[in-house]
Amino acid sequence: MTIAFMHADRRTEAYDRAALISSAKVQSSNVYRLNGERVGRIEHMMIDKVSGRIAYVVMSAGGFMGQGHDFYPLPWCLFTYNDRLGGYEFDVSDEHLKGAPKFTSPEAWDWTDLKRGRRIHDYWRALPYWGF
């Protein structure tokens, strides 16, 4: 009987070519506008512990040389993966992003506040991950 072991790097390459992606890879992905312009980077994914659904991604944008970023909690349903860009697309203008719910440090957001969750989904006109 032969047992084949796949090297970790090969396994990662295989995942990259498949429909599945590692959460670690999503968390460092760039976010682009539909015109291909980079708008930010995914810093975190927020997963509903009970359902297992990805509820939000936290995108960093703005700042200069790694300082002064704003963090935007965005409904996961707003993103589409673009193979050509190797990142996620998000249909957003600068003006709309400026008015969006945001925070200046990851520790400054209360994820248990359902009112904030509703505000996020209302702002982006997205169906809540928890249902209607």
Domains and CATH numbers, the chain: 21-124 (2.30.30.240)
- The pLDDT assigned to 1 comes to 43
Average pLDDT of the chain to the nearest whole number: 83
Is pLDDT above 90 for 23?
no
Give me the mean pLDDT over the 34-43 stretch.
95
β partners of residue 89: 32, 80
Q: Given its phi and psi angles, is residue 83 left (phi above 0), alpha (psi -120 to 50 degrees) or beta? A: alpha
Instruction: Please report which confidence band the pLDDT of residue 3 belongs to, taking 50, 70 and 90 as the band edges.
Output: very low
Q: What is the pLDDT of residues 57-71, one digit of tens each?
A: 999 998 665 566 899
Residue 87 scores a pLDDT above 90: yes
Which residue reads 């520790």 in tokens?
107
Pairing of strands 54-61, 70-75: antiparallel
Region 119-130: what's the mean pLDDT? 92
Confidence at residue 107, expressed as pLDDT on a 0 to 100 scale: 73
Order the strands of the 70-75 sheet from edge to edge. 70-75, 54-61, 38-47, 30-32, 87-89, 80-82
Angle value at C-alpha 86, between 80 and 90, nearest 5 degrees: 30
